[in-house]
Amino acid sequence: MLKAIIFDVDGVLVDSMWFQADAWVKTFREEGITISREEIYELEGSNNLGLIKKVFEKAGKEPEPRHYEKLPLKKREVLEFDRIKPFEGMPACLNQLKKHFRLAMVSGSNFDVVSKFANSFFPDCFEVIITGGDLVHGKPCPDPYLKALEKLALEKNECIVVENAPLGITAAKRAGLYCVAVASMLKPEKLKNADLVFENHAALLDYLKSLIPEKPKTE
């Protein structure tokens, strides 16, 4: 029986990936590393440590300890947070879902950014919030989703995950969870490892609403 829905944040709940990617592109450019938005999209879901390590490796470089501290701060400075909005229909949908299911957030972003999204757009919706700083190993390792399961104190067959990125899908599947994905930034074929893929948020919202139990008929 489904008891909880675990959501990724960027690209699933909030239309933020363009701004997040653009901030990373600018930040890495100052370090002499050129990377495209699409490359960032494919790394989305990894925590800051993992993303920085992968980007430096792609550029044939080795990050220094200072990079892990300095670059996330710089990225946060250039992130255009005020332009980020929730996907249309998502706040209303979550307000309906929370009446029937326990809801959790699992994001590779830092706690300040994730909690700001939760408080600004989805107040009182999420019982559990796992962020990039909560664990050493982020997505694609299963640890973030296993931590959410631990906090929810539920079995794997009582939860589903909603993702939008390959690393997040891999993390969910490694954790043994059913995972649906929405093609918000990448083509659907990039998300083929999910159990179910939706081409857009309208289809995802229809699916989420279909999970809500029908009210019992009155005599």
> What's the pLDDT tens digit per position in 179-198?
999 999 889 999 999 999 99
Distance CA(123)–CA(58), nearest Å, equals 38
pLDDT score recorded for residue 1: 93
Chain mean pLDDT for the chain: 93
Kind of pairing, strands 4-7 and 159-163? parallel
Does residue 193 sit in the same domain as residue 162? yes
Containing domain of residue 125, as a range?
4-15+86-210
pLDDT score recorded for residue 196: 98
Q: Which of 82, 102, 123 is the last residue of a domain?
A: 82
Q: Which of 28, 59, 82 is the last residue of a domain?
A: 82
pLDDT score recorded for residue 166: 93
pLDDT score recorded for residue 219: 42
Does residue 76 sit in the same domain as residue 51? yes
Give the mean model confidence (pLDDT) for residues 13-36. 93
Instruction: Work out the pLDDT band at 107, boundaries 50, 70, 90.
Output: very high
Does residue 150 sit in the same domain as residue 134? yes
CA 191 to chain centre: 14
Does residue 47 sit in the same domain as residue 66? yes
Look up the CATH number of the domain holding residue 53.
1.10.150.240
Does residue 60 sit in the same domain as residue 168? no
Does residue 97 sit in the same domain as residue 30? no
The domain tally of the chain equals: 2
Does residue 92 sit in the same domain as residue 193? yes
Give the mean model confidence (pLDDT) for residues 132-161. 94
Does residue 127 sit in the same domain as residue 98? yes
Max avg pLDDT among 76-85, 87-96, 128-137: 87-96
Q: Are 163 and 45 in contact (CB under 8 A)?
A: yes
Does residue 172 sit in the same domain as residue 206? yes
* pLDDT of 143 above 60: yes
pLDDT score recorded for residue 174: 98
Does residue 11 sit in the same domain as residue 63? no
pLDDT score recorded for residue 218: 46
Which stretches does DSSP call E strand in the chain?
4-7, 102-106, 128-130, 159-163, 178-182, 196-198
More reliable by pLDDT, 84 or 42: 84
Does residue 187 sit in the same domain as residue 173? yes
pLDDT score recorded for residue 217: 41
Does residue 76 sit in the same domain as residue 155? no
pLDDT score recorded for residue 24: 93
Report if residue 9 sits inside a domain. Answer: yes
- Counting residues of the chain whose pLDDT is more than 70, the rounded percentage is 98
